[in-house]
Amino acid sequence: MELDGRLLLIGCGKMGGALLRGWLERGLAPDKVTVVEPGAGARAEVAALGVTAVAGLDEAEAAPPPAFVVLAVKPQMMAAVLPSCRRFAAPGTAFLSVAAGSTIASFEAALGGGAAVIRVMPNTPAAVGRGMSVLCANPGVEETQKTVAGALMAAVGEVAWIDYEALMDAVTGVSGSGPAYVFLLIEALAEAGVEAGLPRDLATQLARATVAGAGELARQSEEPAAELRRNVTSPGGTTAAALEVLMAAGGLPDLMKRAVAAAAKRGRELGA
């Protein structure tokens, strides 16, 4: 991975750490990155990778300006962090945020209207390189910066772009919060297996392997999910009997629509 300039990563928790590892694995030189992380243990882990780590923004060099400032702090910490980031705002510097609910307008207000800002909604499978990240840029972001931003997020999974930030709440409801829905499915499927008489350990193994395997099949297949579902369903068979329950009025499709709508609504409230 090539980067014209240096990169400042603010926050090296689960998401920031996953990004850093992905960048280094893709060939980004450790001396191109500076990490700001208050946790001493996390800083030690970063230093072991050959990357400079400092405890606070006041210790990070402002000159020359970084090519990218990646904000990977929790949303509730953003208000405290952003004012100190204004000194990095300069022509040629882009700010990329992975904080849920923090709008582009909030960054422009803190950094200055001319700042190049990219908002990203990633998800937790980024920790194993299988994340889904959706990006949205303000008009100040140049095409070359978009290309680099896409490459930075591609280090932890798939990438997509949207032109309208208003769609980010729906993105959050589907992919940002989506892993939790899948984990709940594993829980529920395992519990149903226990109710049907299986030992809990076996029911849990079956549920985990089935969801993971079906997900990988869907990822590799060019067929739509509906066709994959039909391929598994024999008329009058066991799967058909189960799907009659799951797809009935008020069943899984309706529940999922309500769940995504609730998550999107909450996203709008947090960004207000």
Domain map (residue ranges) of the chain: 7-168, 176-271
Give mean pLDDT, residues 61-80.
Answer: 85
Supply the CATH classification number for the domain 7-168: 3.40.50.720
Is residue 62 very low, low, confident or very high in pLDDT (cuts 50, 70, 90)? Answer: low
Q: Which CATH superfamily does the domain covering 176-271 fall into?
A: ProC C-terminal domain-like (1.10.3730.10)
For 131-162, letters b (16+ CB in 10 Å) and e give bbbbbbbbebbeeebbebbbbbbebbbebeeb
**Intrachain domains 7-168 and 176-271 with the same fold:** no
Return the structure tokens found at 211. Answer: 């969801």
Q: Which of 78-82, 166-170, 194-198 has the lowest mean pLDDT?
A: 78-82
* pLDDT value at 1 more than 80: no
| pLDDT per position as a tens digit, 210-254 | 999 999 999 999 999 999 999 999 999 999 999 999 999 999 999
* pLDDT value at 63 more than 80: no
Predicted model pTM: 0.91
Q: Beta partners for 69?
A: 8, 95
> What's the pLDDT at 57?
85
8 A C-beta contact, residue 70 and residue 152: yes
Percent of the chain whose pLDDT exceeds 70 = 99
